Amino acid sequence: MANDPFVEMVGKTARVDLPLSDFQPVPQLRVAAHEIERPAWPAIDAHAHLDSIPLAELWPILDASGVERIVNISLAKGAELDEAIRRARPAPPERYRLFVLADWTPLARGESVRAITDELERRVEQGARGLKVWKDLGLTARDARGALLRVDDERLAPLFEKAGELQIPVMLHIGDPAAFFQPIDPRNERYEELAAHPEWSFYGPEFPTWEELLDAQERVIARHPRVRFLGAHVGGAAEDLARAAAMLERCPNLALDFSARAAELGRQPRTARAFFLRYADRILFGSDLLPSPAMYRLYYRFLETEDEYFPYPTHESGQGRWRIYGLGLPKDVLKKIYRTNAETWLGW
Ligand SMILES: [Zn+2]
């Protein structure tokens, strides 16, 4: 570091005390920009959370965005889930699917996993078509003794087997961005996001590491070869596509979505493009953001154009201080990613 010319320059002449939040540089680049209003193929958004959106408001947004079908991963439990299911009843099944969340609280109360598998069975009878396992598994959910539930805890095996028996896919969101497992300090590449949401940090001895979570996730997928798994957010490995590729190679029953990870993928466009071409049959389109035409258009620009250095679709607090580059994927690959992979992997 001592001989780094940038560090020397900053140290000698250019040091300024500008609050990071006030630093809002406007790129002076003049490069081609393509606004893609509709996707190359009618899209299936395989990862959305719609509990807060009235259905009547949803369809015009999807129609304006070229999204033909959507998967609502409900985060509701108990009576709230009853209500969500009731509200979703008028949704046309050819456009809308409901996934339900695994709720681990019976285990914290000392009940067996049977309570969770029974609940899943009941929800599937009510119309649910997928199970979501969220990052609370491995990071915060505890058993009756107060011990963290491990992702690959053998006691949970009957739940995954039940999903296989019911012929529904299991979406896993295990872990989180790698930066969330690092200290919240000036070296953290998602400092501003973590400063806004310190509760998103999983740094510290009370948490497993990012690598431990990914390894445990892979053991679960390998343990249930007849269950179809969907790894949300590039299987948790968007910062390390070699790791994601190794997961796909070792687990033929796994497909990935890249919801909420355009930021990660779009800053490594050559590596990401090669990954998308190599695993074109195993990648599903999903947004994980509040549906809006502007949000979807950023995803389309990312997938379809070779535009350079543009904003990524994100939530309000942003992800990191960088911009992205388009992948310029060929039309046949876009068809798989926008829709046919979802048809295959969701059985839709
Ligand atoms: Zn999500």
Q: Number of H helices and number of E strands within the chain?
A: 16, 8
CA of 49 to the centre of ligand 1 (A): 6
d(CA 272, CA 326): 10
Beta bridge partners of 256: 231, 283
Candidates 164, 91, 87, 151; CA nearest to 121 is 164
CB 157, CB 198: distance < 8 Å? no
Residue 339: pLDDT above 60? yes
261-300 b/e (C-beta count within 10 Å ≥ 16 → b): bbbbbbbbbeebbebbeebbebbbbbbbbebebebbbbbb
CA of 136 to the centre of ligand 1 (A): 12
CA of 109 to the centre of ligand 1 (A): 26
CB 245, CB 279: distance < 8 Å? yes
Structure confidence at residue 13 as a pLDDT band (50, 70, 90): low
d(CA 247, CA 254): 8
Q: What is the pLDDT of residues 284-337, one digit of tens each?
A: 999 999 999 999 999 999 999 999 999 999 998 899 999 999 999 999 999 999
CA of 335 to the centre of ligand 1 (A): 23
Helical ranges in the chain per DSSP H: 5-9, 55-65, 78-88, 105-108, 114-125, 136-139, 157-165, 191-196, 210-223, 232-235, 241-250, 262-266, 269-278, 293-304, 331-335, 341-346
CA of 35 to the centre of ligand 1 (A): 26
Does an H or E element contain 319, and which? none
CA of 77 to the centre of ligand 1 (A): 16
CA of 196 to the centre of ligand 1 (A): 19
pLDDT, residue 11, reads 55
CA of 71 to the centre of ligand 1 (A): 11
pTM across the whole model: 0.94
Tell the CATH topology of 42-346.
TIM Barrel (3.20.20)
Residue 1: pLDDT above 50? no
Task: With H, G, I as helix, E, B as strand and everything else as coil, classify residue 161.
Answer: helix
Q: What is the pLDDT of residues 62-72, one digit of tens each?
A: 999 999 999 99
